[in-house]
Amino acid sequence: MSSEWVVLVDDENREIGVARKDGVHHATTPLHRAFSLFLFDADRRTLLQRRATGKRTFPGVWSNACCGHPAPGETVVEAALRRCKEELGVEPAELWIAIPDYRYRAEAGGVVENEICPVVVGRLDGETLRPDGLEVAATRWIDWHELLAELPGDYSPWCVGEASRLAADPRFRAWLVTARTPAAT
């Protein structure tokens, strides 16, 4: 992990530097770029993961399929593909950025998350998950509407906020029905 870098940004998401991932999450975490990925199958279920108990931030908490940080020079979609392969051992399809401007700050156990975190959505059909045990304690598929009914529950704060924003987004709702990437606007 110490070789992973995160992009530090200002309030307008302009790059102001980089920092090692293992040194950036603490009580005064600087604002940095991240992403969050929600994956859906052909039955419109979404994949959840329980974060490994050894994770520094929000260990053992249920969350969306995958989260991470774009490396310097890496796009959000490229980062989502990379981390999905690393964490879950699969390569999703139809990735698109549903919420480009999601931002949150959350704290647990003295560690703060402070991120500009675009929400990426995609499909995963027919692939066998191969989770990395250092990242993922468990996975499960759940109907999207059942997930919304369970929130906030034992879910990460970003998952709760992002799912609520997705549920209110007409482009996402249209995509969920058709499972096709929406036309660019």
| Cα–Cα distances in angstroms (integers) from residue 44 to residues 18, 63, 109, 131, 147, in the given order | 37, 17, 34, 21, 12
Any catalytic annotation for residue 115? Answer: yes
Taking the C-alpha atoms of residue 51 and residue 135, their distance in angstroms, rounded to an integer, is: 6
Burial status of residue 18 (CB atoms within 10 A of its CB: 0-12, 13-18, 19 or more): middle
List the beta strands (DSSP E) in 15-89: 15-20, 32-33, 35-40, 45-51, 62-64, 66-68
Any catalytic annotation for residue 162? Answer: no
Amino acid present at 109: G
The length of the chain in residues reads 185
Determine which one of 115, 117, 135, 162 is catalytic.
Answer: 115
Taking the C-alpha atoms of residue 44 and residue 41, their distance in angstroms, rounded to an integer, is: 5
Contacts 24+ apart (CB under 8 A), 18-22: 18/72, 21/69
Determine which one of 66, 67, 84, 159 is catalytic.
Answer: 67
Q: Which residues are catalytic?
A: 67, 115
